[in-house]
Amino acid sequence: MCGIIGYFGNRNAAPIILEGLRRLEYRGYDSAGMAIITNNGVKIKKDVGKVDEIHARLNFLEHEGNIAIGHTRWATHGGVTRENAHPHISNNGKIVIVHNGIIENFQEQRKFLTSQGFKFYSQTDTETIPNTIEYHMRRGYDFFEAVKRSLRHLDGQYAIVLIHEDEKKLVAVRKEAPLVIGVGEGEYFVASDIPAFLEHTKNVIFLEEKDMVMIDKDGLKIFNLIKDSFVERPIVSIDWNAEQAKKGEFDHFFMKEIVEQTEVISRIAKLEDGLIKDIADEIRKAKGTYIVACGTAAHASMHGVYLFSRIAKKHINFCIASEFPHFKHFLTPESLVIAVSQSGETADTLAAIRAAKSAGAKVISITNVMGSTLMRESDKSILQRAGPEICVVSTKAYTSQLAILYLLACELAGKLDEGKEKIRELGRYIYYLTSINMRKYLKQLAEKLRYTEHLYLIGRGLQYPTALEAALKIKEVSYIHAEAYAGGELKHGTIALIEHGTPCIVFTSEENEKEIISNAMELKARGAYIIGVGPRNNDVFDFFIKVREAGELNSICQIIPMQILAYQLAILRGCDPDKPRNLAKAVVVK
Ligand code: F6R
């Protein structure tokens, strides 16, 4: 949810942290802050608002130093106020922290510290951490030992980065929340996500659960709190590049990532056959396969169920990840759970796979982030290869998930080569779907819809999850109320809401054209304004978006104009498509 970053090296840390905060802003943007160790002690600047607004007011670059930490916040405990913004500092003004996650027993800990004379200046759970460390340091422990002891008293999930004014040291710990280390020449970066430091290094250390990183002038050491000993972790070179994490010629990451789908889909066509075959074999062997995910990844997973049924004649069960633990009773050591998650850090998805593992089931993941918790906790993984997805709203990660699920279904049906050829060909068509002409055409539709309050979407078969995903995109970035239904379902109640002029988007395909057009007519008869998306125009449509027939790949083609429409609506309605209100990338709390 929040984004955290730390730097320890020989350069001035302030500009590095500021740039890192900009890159991490997609993880939370209620407030932001920075702390830097200078020759005159530690200096903290923090406030409510977006990083650049705060920078304009407070000047994050005012102070210089070689050790610093930063934070972008998505509030959990305590309102969006300056006091609750991070970094937080201990009572003696020496220990400074940034934190992502939740300290579950913070109320008890706060009570205890208050009884010991500590004062609290925010409503956050975080403030208990530096003060617990100060408490242990007062009793004679050094900084590292005090951090270790403090964490024994703090329950919950966290990624934290700490600095100490006098000690010129940086300590970082992860427990059920993301944290990666970047290793440069005589310098180290610690962050929630790789794009935060990608400009400086591609050499990364993925931390394991309860790893505590200690960095000082002698270098970096990792102590594992579970093993209670020092451990070695490999340095991995990653293949993302800094350009992928920048907006380039685009005004927003949202549009950049929509356009990147041509490339992403072409990359999926090059996935190694061995990997697809291996995962398909696991599905063949399993006695019961369940696919779990949240949000957009859940829509991709639902698609998967249709694809496995149609192409591979195989029944796969789908469940929203947060509900999956309620079905754990079905699981046996012969079950297989496939978890789909762009970030690989979504708390509900992780809880689902942990429930599966506790029943002895095998876990396979489809994720975009190498080294993510999901990947590390899975028995096997397929990496999505979509490149960093910076926009809070998922686009290219979604279509890459669809393409991977399609290839798995093809392999199960013995048609992997054919499937790959179709995906390859699709890549070229997506280039057209994201063209400037298409964007202009969809802007005309956005102009018609910009003042609408309610919008309905229908689709049948594969177009049903497409309708769900299109509705989510529109809601997230334009704040228009959009609701999707299976074509046959709307008339069972919700049709009561259709009035003169209510916009309804209807997804069609050659296969279900007759039935869905009948549903469109039912809506038109009640005065709806009908927008058709599909291969063939029809008299019932007031506006038509032509997308060529692509059979089982219709879903990938048809969602792209909807992503663009959502973008255009956001712009016309004055919303920031990269940072929708109340949202955060990687929802690491349940
Ligand atoms: C919507 C969106 C979210 C995520 C969901 C799961 O645009 O991005 O609905 O899809 O929070 O996230 P991951 O895929 O990271 O598990």
- Can you list the domains of the chain with their CATH numbers? 3-244 (3.60.20.10), 248-434 (3.40.50.10490), 437-590 (3.40.50.10490)
**Span from the CA of 340 to the centroid of ligand 1 (angstroms):** 10
Give the number of other CB atoms < 10 A from CB of residue 567. Answer: 29
What angle do the packed helices 416-433 and 396-412 form, to 10 degrees?
160
Distance CA 112, CA 102 (A): 18
Q: Which of 174, 134, 137, 180 is nearest to 156 (CA)?
A: 174
pLDDT surpasses 70 at 585: no
- How far does residue 386's CA lie from ligand 1's centre (Å)? 14
CA distance linking residue 32 with residue 22, whole number of Å: 10
pLDDT digits (tens, 9 = 90+) for 187-235: 999 999 898 999 999 999 999 999 999 999 999 999 999 999 999 999 9
Task: Please give the full DSSP string across 215-238, using - where no structure is assigned.
Answer: EETTEEEEEETTTTEEE----EE-
CA of 289 to the centre of ligand 1 (A): 22
Confidence of residue 55 (pLDDT cuts 50, 70, 90): very high
**In this predicted structure, what is the pLDDT of residue 454?**
96
From 343, 370, 392, 563, give the residue whose CB has the most ligand 1 atoms within 8 Å, as the site to mutate.
Answer: 343
Question: Is pLDDT larger for residue 481 or for residue 494?
Answer: 481
Tell me which DSSP letter residue 534 carries: E
- State residue 503's pLDDT score: 98
Q: Number of C-alpha atoms within 13 angstroms, CB side, residue 131?
A: 22
Residue 430 to residue 535: CA distance in whole angstroms: 15
If you measure from the C-alpha of residue 482 to the centroid of ligand 1, how many angstroms do you get, rounded to a whole number? 18
State the residue for tokens 């959990």: 76
Using the predicted structure, report yes or no on whether residue 528 has a pLDDT greater than 90.
yes
Instruction: Determine which helix (DSSP H) or strand (DSSP E) holds 563, and give its type and residue range.
Output: helix 554-572
Looking at residue 588, what is its pLDDT? 65
d(CA 339, CA 301): 9
Mean pLDDT along residues 366-381: 93
Q: Dihedral angle at the C-alpha atoms of 29, 565, 464, 405, nearest 10 degrees?
A: -70
- When pLDDT is cut at 50, 70 and 90, the band that residue 246 belongs to is confident
Query: Is the CB of 547 inside a 6 Å radius of any atom of ligand 1?
Result: no
Identify the residue with better confidence: 329 or 417. 417
Residue 589 binned pLDDT confidence (cut-offs 50, 70, 90): low
Peptide bond into 577 cis (omega under 30): no
Element (H, E) at 8: strand 3-8
Establish whether residue 295 lines the binding site of ligand 1, counting it when its CB lies within 6 angstroms of any ligand atom.
yes
pLDDT category of residue 129 using cuts at 50, 70 and 90: very high
- Phi and psi, residue 302, nearest 5°: -60, -40
Q: Which of 74, 291, 296, 368 is the pocket-test mutation for ligand 1 (most atoms within 8 Å of CB)?
A: 296
Cβ–ligand 1 distance for 296 under 6 Å, the answer yes
Can you tell me whether residue 42 is helix, strand or coil? Answer: strand
User: With contact defined as beta carbons under 8 Å apart, do 332 and 287 qualify?
Assistant: yes
Tell me the two tokens of residue 569.
């609506």
What is the strand order of the sheet 317-320 is part of? 317-320, 289-293, 336-341, 362-367, 380-383
DSSP3 helix / strand / coil % (the chain, rounded to 5): 40, 25, 35
Task: Find, among 242, 240, 244, the residue nearest to 259 by Cα.
Answer: 244
> Is 470 near ligand 1, meaning CB less than 6 Å away?
no
Q: How confident is the model at residue 245 (pLDDT cuts 50, 70, 90)?
A: confident
- DSSP letter string over 271-298? S-HHHHHHHHHHHHH-SSEEEEE-HHHH
DSSP H helices in 331-379: 347-358, 373-377
Shortest-distance Cα residue to atom 5 of ligand 1: 295
pLDDT of residue 153: 85
Eight-class DSSP state of 335: -
491 labelled catalytic:
no
294 touches ligand 1 (CB under 6 Å): yes
- Amino acid 586 reads A
Half-sphere exposure of 483 (CA within 13 A, CB side): 12
CA of residue 219 to ligand 1 center, whole Å: 36
590 flagged as catalytic: no
Please state whether beta strands 95-103 and 88-89 pair in parallel, antiparallel, or not at all (unpaired): antiparallel
Under 8 Å between Cβ of 485 and 496: no
pLDDT at 590: 67
Residue matched to tokens 């927008």 = 531
Q: Is 378 in the pocket of ligand 1 (CB under 6 A)?
A: no
What the block records as the tokens of 360 is 């002895």
- Nearest ligand 1 atom to the CA of 587 is 11
Least confident of 76-80, 107-111, 264-268, 304-308: 76-80
Per the document, the length of the chain is 590
CA of 293 to the centre of ligand 1 (A): 8
Please work out whether the CB of residue 343 comes within 6 Å of at least one atom of ligand 1.
Answer: yes
pLDDT interval class at 398 (50, 70, 90): very high
What average pLDDT does this structure show over 557-583? 93
pLDDT exceeding 70 applies to what percent of the chain?
99
394 lines ligand 1 (CB under 6 A): yes
Whether the CB-CB separation of 547 and 533 falls below 8 Å is answered with yes
Beta bridge partners of 293: 320
Section 83-102 average pLDDT: 95
User: 197: Cβ–Cβ under 8 A, 6 or more apart, which residues?
Assistant: 5, 16, 20, 182, 189, 191
Residue 33 has pLDDT above 80, yes or no: yes
Considering the candidates 50, 256, 420, 585, report the single residue annotated as catalytic: 585
Question: For the whole model, what pTM was predicted?
Answer: 0.84
Whether 557 has a pLDDT exceeding 90, the answer reads yes
Among positive and negative, which fits the CA dihedral 162, 167, 170, 174? negative
- Pairing relation of β-strands 236-237 and 203-206? antiparallel
Ligand 1 atom with least separation from CA of 342? 14
User: Is residue 255 within 8 Å of residue 224, measured between CB atoms?
Assistant: no
Q: 587: Cβ below 6 Å to ligand 1?
A: yes
Decide: 480 and 456 in contact? Cβ < 8 Å.
no
Mean local confidence (pLDDT), 321-350: 94
Average of pLDDT values for 327-339? 94
The helix/strand count (H/E) of the chain reads as 17, 25
Residue 399: is its pLDDT beyond 90? yes
Using the atom order of ligand 1, give the atom closest to the CA of residue 293. 16
Closest Cα to residue 345, out of 374, 325, 316?
374
d(CA 351, CA 349): 5
Question: Does the CB atom of residue 586 touch ligand 1 within 6 A?
Answer: yes
Q: Which residues, 6+ apart, have CB-to-CB distance to 253 below 8 Å?
A: 26, 247, 390, 391, 578
Angle at the Cα of 373 from the Cα atoms of 221 and 388, rounded to 5 degrees: 95
Average pLDDT, the chain: 94
Assess whether pLDDT exceeds 90 at residue 14: yes
Identify whether the C-beta of residue 211 lies closer than 8 Å to the C-beta of residue 233.
yes
